[in-house]
Amino acid sequence: MASRRFRGRRGGTPPTGASRPGAPLVGSGAEPKSALVRAEAALRAGRLGEAEALCRRLLATDGRQPDALHLLGIAALQGGRQADAAEFLGQAAAVARRNPDVHSNLASALLGLGRIQEGRAALERALKLAPSHPQANYNLGLLALREGHFAKARRHLERTLKAAPRHLDAIVALGVALAESGEFEAAVGRFREVLVLHDAHPSARLNLANALVELGRPREAIGHYRVLLEADPSSPNVHFHLALAETKAELLPEAILS
């Protein structure tokens, strides 16, 4: 099993995240297409209620319209309604069996419900259709990371980053896989890469600090823990690791500190 020191996602949450819908799956007239375009625009803008209303209007006419089911499932997923998302996306997957985004998003809903094996199967279906699919590879990488299969995690995460080089959570997760494999210098490079792009990324900073401690550089790590505590002064996890780093710094020989 993976160690608790390094974390690919804050709080150890299950892999989730919706892939953005692609072009409509079917052409069924100008009016449905227009409604789908408006629903997708509303979804991208965060207007989940509007997107859902447009999709339900389409489904009232055609209950198996795959794009409407897919968008409705994504809206439910983004709204935190995992069970509804799994229902709608499962229906979409039954109709649009060759759409990898549908299977990937179904997997996200299933994983969010703790249905790990079903979610894994949906991710594997997505990768059979699109081997480089970034979100499916990312979620499989997180599953492998959580299960302690670090080489497998690295393969999936590297595929994610080949397709989506700025996927920050995937960079962090790859850093975690490297750290768990004992490759702390390489892990530090990955965590720093994220902080260059997003200085306030807490998971990258926490994992960077932990890796620096493992490399025998606790004083450098202390600065990162203190930055984290400025943002979240009550974090017990950060206080714990800061105390460990301060103890290790006090025990370092003077020759190393000077």
| Cα 39–chain centre separation | 24
pLDDT exceeds cutoff 90 at 12 = no
Rounded to an integer, what distance in angstroms lies between the CA atom of residue 230 and that of residue 64?
A: 51
Concatenated DSSP letters of 159-212: HHHHH-TT-HHHHHHHHHHHHHTT-HHHHHHHHHHHHHH-TT-HHHHHHHHHHH
Q: Is the model more confident about 29 or about 182? A: 182
Query: Could you tell me where in the chain the CATH 1.25.40.10 domains are found?
Result: 20-132, 151-258
- 58 vs 252: which has the higher pLDDT: 58
4, 206, 220 from 241: Cα distances, Å: 12, 9, 13
The domain defined by 20-132 folds into 1.25.40
Secondary structure tally for the chain: helices H, strands E: 14, 0
**Average pLDDT estimate for 95-112:** 97
Share of the chain above pLDDT 70, in %: 85
Q: What is the mean pLDDT of residues 86-92?
A: 98
Tell me which CATH code domain 151-258 carries. Answer: 1.25.40.10
Residue 250 pLDDT grade (very low, low, confident, very high; cuts 50, 70, 90):
confident
154: pLDDT strictly greater than 80: yes
